[in-house]
A and B are shown apart, each in its own frame.
Chain A
Amino acid sequence: GIQVEQSPPDLILQEGANSTLRCNFSDSVNNLQWFHQNPWGQLINLFYIPSGTKQNGRLSATTVATERYSLLYISSSQTTDSGVYFCAVPSSNTGKLIFGQGTTLQVKP
């Protein structure tokens, strides 16, 4: 089945710094989602981005489907950005999502 790999596994930033998280996937996909799992465990939808670039405030995401990767950019990081960031892709025509292992981000004040 399709494999999803995220890097880096852990990231520590000083508040105000920028960062890039990467998601590689092993097969062609027709959509991709980025989630933020906050310290309370809630999964927050960040982006649904099968291809191209989308921006939402300080966050943006780019998916290059032909090269099988997606990037999540966080600019001017804040302590509230801390948590785990997951990317996920559908495995087949059933729509079930395959998740990467996540990137744990800690933003220090």
Chain B
Amino acid sequence: NAGVTQTPKFQVLKTGQSMTLQCAQDMNHNSMYWYRQDPGMGLRLIYYSASEGTTDKGEVPNGYNVSRLNKREFSLRLESAAPSQTSVYFCASSRGPGSNQPQHFGDGTRLSIL
């Protein structure tokens, strides 16, 4: 049972390059989330998708776009990477708001932007 799978695990980009972080879950969850974690800090929400076909901004959405491709997959795109986006990115999923069920996290993607 894979749970939440993120790819790639590591990536180095140059300023201005673009890339897409992939996330897939196999738990038939409705809601999916993208967080970033910066050194010495907890996780902050970038974007989320409460259900298939919907996406909403979180606390720190600037510089990112997302796509809820289907119920299983939720991707995060950096159109023009900046050094301030160097971080560890986590994807998570849950049954949905109000379900009183925990969120499950992937192993993270470590992204460095030079």
Contacts and interface: CB of A to CB of B under 8 A. Distances in A.
B2 interface: no
Contacts, number: 63
Contacts of A93: 97-98
A99 to B, nearest CB: 3
Interface in B6-61: 31, 33, 35, 40-45, 48, 50, 56, 58
Interface size class of B (residues with CB under 8 A): 20 to 34
Contact of B45 (A45, A86, A97): A97
B103 A101 contact: no
Contacts of B104: 45
A4 B44 CA distance: 13
Given A90-B97, A95-B94, A41 B42 contact: no
Nearest to A30: B100
Nearest to B110: A41
Which label, helix, strand, loop or mixed, suits the secondary structure of the A interface?
A: loop
Contact of B90 (A33, A43, A100): A43
Interface centre among A31, A42, A94 (most CB of B within 10 A): A94
Contact of B48 (A35, A43, A94): A94
A86 B42 contact: yes
Interface of A: 4, 30-31, 33, 35, 41-43, 45, 48, 50, 86, 88, 90, 92-97, 99-102
Interface of B: 31, 33, 35, 40-45, 48, 50, 56, 58, 88, 90, 92, 94, 96-105, 107-108, 110
